[in-house]
Structure 1
C-alpha cells in the first residue's frame, strides 16, 4: 500500500475505533461463517486487521492468529484490548506480511480493493497457503454501486475523506481470484451491502 494510504488510516484510526458496527447482525453472521471454516489446529494470517476486533473474536478458535496491518496507530489501539494469548499483532503491509508461511487460512476483510496490485497480492496469498488452504475474504466492489455513488468517492478522496481504492466489479474480483489459482467454494453477501462480496477460495491440494 502507499504512504498516502498509510497516513489516511493512521489519521482516522481513533475515529474508526470509536465508530459502532453499522450492521451488527451481518457482522455476527460473517463471524459465524468464518468460524465454521476454521479448525483448532489452524495457523491463520489476517491481512489488514485494523483495530483487531475480528482477530480477537475468532483467534481463540485456532492454534495461532497473526493479525497484520500497516497502520501503527490501528495496531496500538488493537493492543489495548483484551487480546487472547494466541493472537499476535504485527506491523506489516499486505505485500510483506507473509513471514511464517505456510498458513492454513489467510483472511482479508475489506482489503483487496485497497491494495495497489491485487493480482500480485493474490499470488502471494496463494503461495503462502498450504495445499488445501483457504483465502477468506470480503471485498467492496465499488463498480457495482449506482453511478451517483461511484462519482462521490473521487471527490471524497480529494478532501482526504476516502482512502486510495480500486473500483472493482464483482466479475473482476472473481476472475482475479480464479486467475491466482484458487477455486471458489462460497460466495455471498451479508446484511444490507450486496456490493460487499464474501468469498471463500481454496488452494488446490489435500488439506
Structure 2
C-alpha cells in the first residue's frame, strides 16, 4: 500500500538519492538501510520505500512513521484490492483490463487501485465478481482475454517506436512472476495481436 500522496522510491532511486550506484549502495549501505527503512506493505517487484523515510534516514534524522489511518486515496496492490473486494488478485487484474472495474493507475511498472475504487467495487450490487481466493469449484467458466497479452503488445509497440528499450522474456517473467516459457508464449501472442491489428488479447 502507498499512503495517500506519498512519493515513493525503488532501490535504484534510493541509491541515486544517496549519490552512489546500486551495487555500491548494496555493499556499503544496504544493511543499515534495511534495518531503518522498511518496504511499503504489499510492495514487491520492485520493493518500494517511502521517500520521506528514505530522506530522513539518509540525512541521519529519525525515520518518521507512516500514516496509520486508512484514506480513500491510498493506493493498493492487486492483492490488497482483491482482499477488499473479496476476490483474487488475478480477478482484479482481469476485470480492470476488460473494463469491468476501475482500470487503476500505473506506478513503478505495476498497477495500483485507490482504496475508494476497491471499496466501490466491493459495494457493487450482488453479482458474480470473479473467483474468490481459494475457491475449489470446478465449474467451467468462459475464458476471458488475457490482460497480460494486451499489456505486452502495448510495450512491444512502444519498443518498436523507439519509446523504450527492447521487451525481453526475462523482463516479462519477472513482471508477471511466470516461467520464461510462459513469458515466451505471452510475447508470441502479443506479437500476433500486433500483426493482426486487433489490439485485443489472443
Higher relative contact order (CA 8 A, sep 6+): 1
- What is the TM-score normalised by the length of structure 2? 0.29
**Structure with higher helix content:** 2
| Greater Rg by CA | 2
- What is the TM-score normalised by the length of structure 1? 0.29
